[in-house]
Amino acid sequence: MKKIYSASITPFTEEGKIDKESLERLIEFDLARGIEGFFFLGTMGEWAVLSSSMKNDLLETAGSVIGNRAEIIIGAHSTGLSGILDNIESYSRYNGSAFAVQLPGGWAKPEDPVSYMHEIADFSSKPVYLYYLPGVNGVSFSKEQFADLFSHPNIAGVKNSSDSLRARKELLNLRKSVNFMLFEGQEWVVDESLFLGCDGALVGMAPLGAKLFRLIADAVDEKNPVKAAEYQKIMIEIFDGIYGTDLSTVWVGQKYALKILNVFSSEKTLVPSQKNAMTEKSKERIEKCVEKYHDYLV
């Protein structure tokens, strides 16, 4: 069966602390709708704006609630190698089956990303996933580098969040001879990617859209491309309705939708650009979207 993992978002109280009650409701909401794995401290989880104590609160609460009911992947990203290794050492005490790493960009971008990832994998006591996001960090892998990357036995797979069809094809071709997990990270192409051979989807809209993504995956398992495409079209409409066609309400929009569904207590986000993103017009758009597609969400 194709897997659906949630790139989980992080709920906050109005005071900006981890909302543990909302987090528990979110986990139960997603598990009940077919989520098989959770990725915490990713981009949608606002890892870059959380304090160390907040990250610890999040991981401790999530690990306790989930137990052994789903796989837990923990983001160990940092602005440098030493920070990544420190995070892996610190987070190893929590309930998690693997780590994911988004390589640093800018002046901290690794000169040799394969060796960089291998050093991380050597250090980690748990499997490591590459969170492949070249549009954000500017770190691209060639076909040969991907092959070299997965020569390490502790590199478990990749969350491919690139917009590159070429990268997806190269990874799919590589899987014919190399064993690793390949997760699609773009909501818009889940049906196509699963049909082409990806093991599953690990996406940021899954906290809200777990049920619909599971419907897409089930249609793929049934080898029914027409049904999968129909569900995928609905997902794109929800994507635009929640995030906005200009992506102006990516974090706050999904949180507001979950608030409408009584999963979250607040749409609070710590992402600076989202502070004033929620307008009365965007609220109305999200409310209409949730009402229209309610049965595909709950």
Could you read off the pLDDT of 236-286 as tens digits, one per residue? 999 999 999 999 999 999 999 999 999 999 999 999 999 899 999 999 999
Q: Can you tell me the distance from the alpha carbon of 270 to that of 159, in angstroms, rounded to the nearest whole number?
A: 24
Distance CA 242, CA 158 (A): 27
Handedness of CA 207, 209, 211, 217 (dihedral sign): negative
Q: pLDDT tens for residues 27-41?
A: 999 999 999 999 999
**Which residues, 6 or more positions from 89, have their beta carbon under 8 angstroms from its beta carbon?**
none
Domain 3-226 has CATH 3.40.50.300: no
pLDDT at 246 (0 to 100) = 95
pLDDT confidence tier of residue 66, bands split at 50, 70 and 90: very high
Region of 106 on the Ramachandran plot (φ > 0 left; ψ -120 to 50 alpha; else beta): left
Distance, CA of 199 to CA of 197 (rounded, Å): 6
Q: Residues 83-110: pLDDT tens digits?
A: 999 999 999 999 999 999 999 999 999 9
- Residue 123 pLDDT: 98
Asked if 74 and 38 count as a contact pair (C-beta separation under 8 A), the reply is: no
Q: How far is the C-alpha of 30 from the C-alpha of 6, rounded, in Å?
A: 8
Residue pair 44/71 in contact (Cβ under 8 Å)? The answer is no
Farthest-apart Cα atoms in the chain, separation: 52
Burial of 190 (0-12, 13-18, 19+ CB in 10 A): buried
d(CA 65, CA 226) in angstroms, rounded, equals: 37
**225-243 helix and 280-292 helix, angle to the nearest 10 degrees:** 160
- Give the containing element (helix H, strand E) for 98: strand 98-101
Q: At what angle do helices 81-91 and 52-66 cross, to 10 degrees?
A: 40
Q: Is a pLDDT exceeding 90 seen at residue 163?
A: no
> What does the alpha-carbon distance between residue 278 and residue 280 come to, in Å, rounded to a whole number?
7
Give the C-alpha separation, 188 to 4, whole Å: 14
